Amino acid sequence: MALLEIENLVVEFQTATGPFRAVDGVSLKVDEGEVLAIVGESGSGKSVSMLAAMGLLPWTATVTADKLTFNGRDLLKMSSADRRKIIGKDIAMIFQEPIASLNPCFTVGFQIEEVLRIHMGLDRAARRKRAIELFEAVGIPDPTERLSHFPHQMSGGQCQRVMIAIALACNPKLLIADEPTTALDVTIQKQILDLLMKLQQEYRMGLIMITHNMGVVAETADRVIVQYKGRKIEEADVLSLFESPKSNYTRALLAALPENATGDRLPTISELFKDQQMLEGAAR
């Protein structure tokens, strides 16, 4: 059975220039222990669709879907209090800016223990012990010492590790990673991706990897969804996507990678490619 199932998700924002459709009929499924990558450029609605599924969008957004279930439970019909119990516990999320995602006023130890207190109801000593365990699991050296540090005393990579530890605190069934390595250096990116993959295997989590980086997709995903302007263009397993992309858009995207350049010039997604052509061969 699918862990998270979304059918025909539509998200609209009210703006000064009238309603704007950020996500237009996206459907997706993630199974237990599966890594799904959602790839797209800015404005493709890749982050918005996940935020919508978690109910984290501001009031200006209208979210509709034919189906939105997590682990067999209907998220649409749930009260927001029930929803909050699931989010943060069974579904966890990590974001692009690790330093900004942590509250600068509290130590990282306090922040991770807060999650453990609210969702797991552990007592003080057990919280402490679990926090140290988690820090060890995400590879933070000297965890006991580090618990009393503030976010600004740590590097971006370390903060992202803390975020991952917090996300893992309640043994989530699904982890949503929204551009988790975009703000990080390449060598740190490598470490974080390796860590995420290792933990995903260990905990048998579902993992949704939102990214714009084809390299990250290639290194992590089992299955890939390509989005463009709020629509799903293509869905395929990772190997066939890179070997034989079905849609023009995916083909153009792969061709634009500098490492795939053959001649002097990079092929670009030119103006000739009108949206209609982009959508050709879309798996809708």
Partner 1 sequence: MTHVLEARNLVRDYHIPGNLFRKARTVHALKGVSFTVDEGKTLAIVGESGCGKSTLGRIITLIDPATAGELLIDGRKVDIAREGLTPEMRRKVQIVFQNPYGSLNPRQKIGDILAEPLVINTKIPASERRDRAMTMLKKVGLEEKHYNRYPHMFSGGQRQRIAIARALMLNPKLLVLDEPVSALDLSVQAQVLNLLADLQDEFKLTYVFISHDLSVVRYIADDVMVMYYGEAVEYGSRDEVFSNPQHSYTKTLFAATPRADVASIKARLARKNAA
Partner 2 sequence: MTEVTATSPISTDPSRRARLAEFWFYFSENRGAVIGLFFFLFLVVLAICAPLVAPHDPTIQFRESVLLPPFWQEGGRVGFLLGTDAVGRDMLSRLIYGTRFSLFVGVIVTTLSLTGGILVGVIAGYFRGWVDTVIMRIMDIILAFPSLLLALVLVAVLGPGLTNAMIAIALVFQPHFVRLTRAAVMTEKTRDYVVAAKVAGAGHLRLMFKTILPNCMAPLIVQATLSFSNAILDAAALGFLGMGAQPPTPEWGTMLAEAREFILRAWWVVTLPGLAILATVLAINLMGDGLRDALDPKLKRS
C-alpha closest to that of 234 among 256, 262, 253: 253
**Minimum CB–partner distance for residue 91 and partner 2 (Å):** 21
State yes or no: residue 7 binds partner 1 (CB under 8 A).
no
Q: Which of partner 1, partner 2, none lies near 219, with the C-beta cut-off 5 to 8 A by kind?
A: partner 1
| Count of other CB atoms within 10 angstroms of residue 270 | 7
- Interface residue with partner 1 among 18, 59, 124, 264 (CB under 8 A) is 264
Q: What gap in Å lies between CA 8 and CA 268, rounded to an integer?
A: 31
Contact pattern for partner 1 over residues 177 through 216, marking x by CB under 8 A: --------xxxxxx--x-------x----------xxxxx
- Taking 3-state DSSP, the helix, strand and coil percentages for the chain, each rounded to the nearest 5, stand at 40, 25, 35
State yes or no: residue 243 binds partner 1 (CB under 8 A).
yes
Q: How far apart, in Å, do the first and last CA atoms of the chain sit?
A: 21
Nearer to partner 1, 69 or 96 (CB): 96
Q: Which of partner 2, partner 1, none lies near 260, with the C-beta cut-off 5 to 8 A by kind?
A: partner 1
Q: Which of partner 2, partner 1, none lies near 7, with the C-beta cut-off 5 to 8 A by kind?
A: none
Give the up-direction half-sphere exposure of residue 179: CA atoms within 13 A in the CB hemisphere.
16
Contact pattern for partner 1 over residues 223 through 242, marking x by CB under 8 A: ---------------xx--x
Q: What gap in Å lies between CA 62 and CA 114, rounded to an integer?
A: 31
**Minimum CB–partner distance for residue 224 and partner 2 (Å):** 20
Contact 107, 150 (CB under 8 A): yes
Question: Which residues contribute to the site for partner 2 (CB under 8 A)?
Answer: 13, 15-17, 20, 22, 42-45, 47-48, 230
Q: What gap in Å lies between CA 70 and CA 173, rounded to an integer?
A: 10
Compute and round to an integer the Cα radius of gyration of the chain: 20
Positions that interact with partner 1 (CB under 8 A): 41-42, 185-190, 193, 201, 212-219, 238-239, 242-243, 252-254, 256-261, 264-269
